[in-house]
C-alpha cells in the first residue's frame, strides 16, 4: 500500500511538472528565450564589421554583403521552415536552427575568405529563420485570444535579447578579439537553444481561448498557396516592406552614420559606466525595439490592428525626419534613433497577428513566415540606401525612408482595413454555407468581394 502511494505521488508530481511544462505560458516563455538567444546574429553583427575588416582588409561593403545574405536567407526561407513546423511540429525545426546558429558564428570566426564568410551568413540565416518562424508561429497558435500580445512578447525576445549581451560582446571583442567572441557566443547561444528546443511541443490551446475573439478574425483556415492568391495579402506585404525598410536601414547603417557625424566613439555616461556613444545607442535601440513589440501587440488586441499600424508607422516616418533634422546633436541622435526602433518594432507583432486573423491559425507558421519574407525584400534596399547616401547624403535616405513609412501608415487605415473587412465577411459567408450543407463555392481568391 505504501509503495502504491509512493508511485501515485510520483505520478502526480510528474503530472504536475508536465502540466507546467505543457502550459501555453511556459511554451511562450521558451520561445521568447530562444528568440533572445538568436537575436545577436542580426543585432550584434555591426560590432564585428570593423574588427573583421581590420584583420582581413576585405572592405566594409564586401563584409556587409554577408549581412544582406543573412537577412535574405533568414526571411525568405521562413515559409519553408514554417511548413515544416506545421507538418512535423516545432521541436525538430528549432533543434536544426540551434545547430545552424552556432555553426554560423563559428564559421564567421575562422573564415579565411569572403566566400566562406558568405556561406557562414547563409547558415546563420537558416538558423535564425528556423527559430524565429517557429516561435512566432507557435505563439499565434497557442494564443488565438491574445495573438497580438503573444506575437509581441515572442518578437520582443528577438528585439530586446541583444540588448542584454551587446555590451558583453563589445567588451569581449576588445579584450579577446572578435574571433574568440564569435566562437564563445556561437557555442553558448546554439547550445542553450538546443536544450530549450527539446521542451517544445505542438500547440494545443485551451478550449476557452479558442472561443474568445477580441478582434475581427476569419473562421476559415487558408493554406499558404491560397493566401498568396489574395490581393489583401499583397497589400500587407507591400506595407511590411515600406515600414521595414526604415528600420533595417537604421540597423545596418547606424554605425556608419554615427561615424560620419563624428561621434561614434564619443564617451557617454550610461548607468554609471562610460561607454562609446554607438554602443549605448545600440543598447537603447534594442531595448526600445523589444519593449514596443508586446506593447503594440496588446494595444492592437484592444483598438484594432490597422489603427495601431496607422499610429506606429506614422511615428517611424516622423522619427526618421527628426533624425535627419536634429541628428547632428549626439544626444538627439540617440533619442530619434531610439524612436525609430520604438515604432519600427510594431511590424513584428502586428503583422503576424493580422495574418493569422485574416487567414486562420491552422497554417499560421507557414503563412506568417511567408509574410515575414517582406523583411528580406526590404533588406535589399540597404545597398540602395548606401548609393543614395553617396550621391545625395544621408538626408536623401531619411526622406525616402520616411515617405514610404508614412505611405504605409495611410494604407493601413484606408486601404488594408476595408479590404480585410470584406475578406473576412466573405470567409464567414463561405463558412456558414459549408456548415449548413450548402453548395460551397468560395469566392475567387483574387477577389475581396
Please state, in angstroms and rounded to a whole number, the distance separating the CA atoms of residues 156 and 145.
Answer: 19
Residue with cell 472561443: 211
Is residue 228 classed exposed, middle or buried when 0-12, 13-18 and 19+ CB atoms within 10 A define those classes? middle
Q: Is 426 contained in some domain?
A: yes
Q: What is the mean pLDDT of residues 356-379?
A: 87
Q: Closest Cα to residue 243, out of 317, 298, 307, 293?
A: 317
Q: What is the pLDDT of residues 221-260, one digit of tens each?
A: 899 999 999 999 999 999 999 999 888 888 777 877 888 8
Half-sphere exposure of 129 (CA within 13 A, CB side): 31
Q: Is 56 contained in some domain?
A: yes
Q: Is 3 contained in some domain?
A: no
- Judge whether residue 18 has pLDDT over 60: no
pLDDT of residue 447: 43
Helix (H, G, I), strand (E, B) or coil at 215: coil
Tell me the C-alpha to C-alpha distance, in Å, between residue 64 and each of 163, 192, 261, 262.
21, 28, 20, 21
How many domains are contained in the chain? 1
pLDDT of residue 116: 95
pLDDT of residue 403: 94
- Judge whether residue 41 has pLDDT over 60: yes
Q: Is 98 contained in some domain?
A: yes
Q: What is the phi-psi region of residue 442: left when phi exceeds 0, alpha when psi lies from -120 to 50, beta otherwise?
A: beta
Please state, in angstroms and rounded to a whole number, the distance separating the CA atoms of residues 184 and 172.
Answer: 10
Which distant-in-sequence residues (6+ apart) come within 8 Å of 398 by Cβ?
A: 320, 321, 323, 324
pLDDT of residue 264: 76
Q: Binning pLDDT at 50, 70 and 90, where does residue 377 land?
A: confident
Q: What is the pLDDT of residues 277-301, one digit of tens each?
A: 888 888 888 788 888 888 998 899 8
Q: Is 5 contained in some domain?
A: no
Q: What is the mean pLDDT of residues 91-107?
A: 95
Q: Are 134 and 335 in contact (CB under 8 A)?
A: no
Q: Are 86 and 133 in contact (CB under 8 A)?
A: no
Rg (CA), the chain: 22
Q: What is the pTM of this model?
A: 0.75
CATH number, domain of 280, equals 1.20.1250.20
Q: Is 369 contained in some domain?
A: yes
For residue 166, give its domain range: 24-203+218-435
Q: Are 350 and 297 in contact (CB under 8 A)?
A: yes
Residue with cell 519593449: 291
- Judge whether residue 215 has pLDDT over 70: no
Q: What is the mean pLDDT of residues 160-189?
A: 88
Please state, in angstroms and rounded to a whole number, the distance separating the CA atoms of residues 58 and 62.
Answer: 6
Q: What is the pLDDT of residues 180-214, one digit of tens each?
A: 999 999 999 999 999 999 999 998 888 776 655 55
Residue 51 sits at the vertex; the CA angle it makes with 50 and 52, to the nearest 5 degrees, is 90
390 vs 109, residue with greater confidence:
109
Please state, in angstroms and rounded to a whole number, the distance separating the CA atoms of residues 128 and 293.
Answer: 18
Of all residues in the chain, the percent with pLDDT exceeding 90 is 42
| Pair type for strands 267-270 and 273-276 | antiparallel
Please state, in angstroms and rounded to a whole number, the distance separating the CA atoms of residues 372 and 364.
Answer: 12
Amino acid at each position: 500500500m505504501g509503495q502504491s502511494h509512493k508511485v501515485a505521488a510520483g505520478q502526480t508530481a510528474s503530472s504536475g511538472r508536465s502540466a507546467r511544462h505543457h502550459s501555453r505560458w511556459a511554451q511562450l516563455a521558451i520561445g521568447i528565450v530562444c528568440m533572445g538567444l538568436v537575436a545577436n546574429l542580426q543585432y550584434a553583427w555591426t560590432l564585428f564589421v570593423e574588427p573583421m575588416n581590420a584583420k582581413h582588409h576585405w572592405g566594409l561593403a564586401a563584409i556587409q554583403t554577408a549581412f544582406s545574405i543573412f537577412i535574405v536567407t533568414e526571411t525568405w526561407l521562413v515559409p519553408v521552415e514554417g511548413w515544416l513546423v506545421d507538418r512535423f511540429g516545432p521541436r525538430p525545426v528549432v533543434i536544426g536552427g540551434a545547430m545552424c546558429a552556432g555553426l554560423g558564428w563559428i564559421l564567421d570566426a575562422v573564415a579565411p575568405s569572403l566566400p566562406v564568410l558568405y556561406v557562414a551568413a547563409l547558415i546563420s540565416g537558416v538558423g535564425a529563420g528556423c527559430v524565429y518562424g517557429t516561435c512566432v508561429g507557435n505563439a499565434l497558435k497557442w494564443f488565438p485570444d491574445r495573438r497580438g500580445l503573444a506575437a509581441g512578447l515572442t518578437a520582443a525576445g528577438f528585439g530586446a535579447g541583444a540588448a542584454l549581451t551587446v555590451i558583453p560582446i563589445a567588451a569581449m571583442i576588445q579584450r579577446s578579439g572578435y574571433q574568440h567572441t564569435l566562437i564563445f557566443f556561437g557555442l553558448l547561444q546554439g547550445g542553450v537553444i538546443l536544450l530549450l528546443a527539446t521542451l517544445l511541443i505542438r500547440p494545443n490551446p485551451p478550449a476557452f481561448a479558442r472561443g474568445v475573439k477580441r478582434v475581427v478574425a476569419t473562421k476559415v483556415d487558408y493554406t499558404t498557396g491560397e493566401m498568396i492568391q489574395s490581393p489583401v495579402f499583397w497589400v500587407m506585404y507591400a506595407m511590411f516592406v515600406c515600414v521595414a525598410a526604415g528600420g533595417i536601414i537604421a540597423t545596418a547603417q547606424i554605425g556608419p552614420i554615427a561615424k560620419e557625424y563624428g561621434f561614434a566613439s564619443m564617451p557617454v555616461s550610461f548607468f554609471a559606466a562610460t561607454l562609446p556613444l554607438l554602443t549605448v545607442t545600440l543598447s537603447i535601440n534594442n531595448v526600445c525595439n523589444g519593449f514596443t513589440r508586446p506593447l503594440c501587440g496588446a494595444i492592437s488586441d484592444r483598438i484594432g490592428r490597422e489603427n495601431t499600424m496607422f499610429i506606429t508607422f506614422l511615428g517611424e516616418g516622423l522619427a526618421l525626419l527628426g533624425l535627419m533634422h536634429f541628428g547632428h546633436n549626439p544626444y538627439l541622435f540617440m533619442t530619434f534613433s531610439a524612436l525609430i526602433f520604438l515604432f519600427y518594432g510594431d511590424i513584428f507583432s502586428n503583422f503576424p497577428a493580422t495574418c493569422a486573423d485574416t487567414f486562420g491559425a491552422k497554417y499560421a507558421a507557414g503563412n506568417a513566415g511567408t509574410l515575414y519574407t517582406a523583411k528580406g525584400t526590404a533588406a535589399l534596399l540597404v545597398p540602395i540606401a548606401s548609393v543614395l547616401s553617396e550621391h545625395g547624403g544621408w538626408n536623401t535616405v531619411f526622406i525616402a525612408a520616411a515617405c514610404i513609412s508614412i505611405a504605409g501608415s495611410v494604407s493601413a487605415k484606408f486601404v488594408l482595413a476595408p479590404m480585410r473587412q470584406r475578406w473576412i465577411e466573405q470567409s464567414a459567408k463561405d463558412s456558414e454555407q459549408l456548415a449548413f450543407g450548402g453548395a460551397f463555392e468560395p469566392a475567387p481568391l483574387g477577389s475581396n468581394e
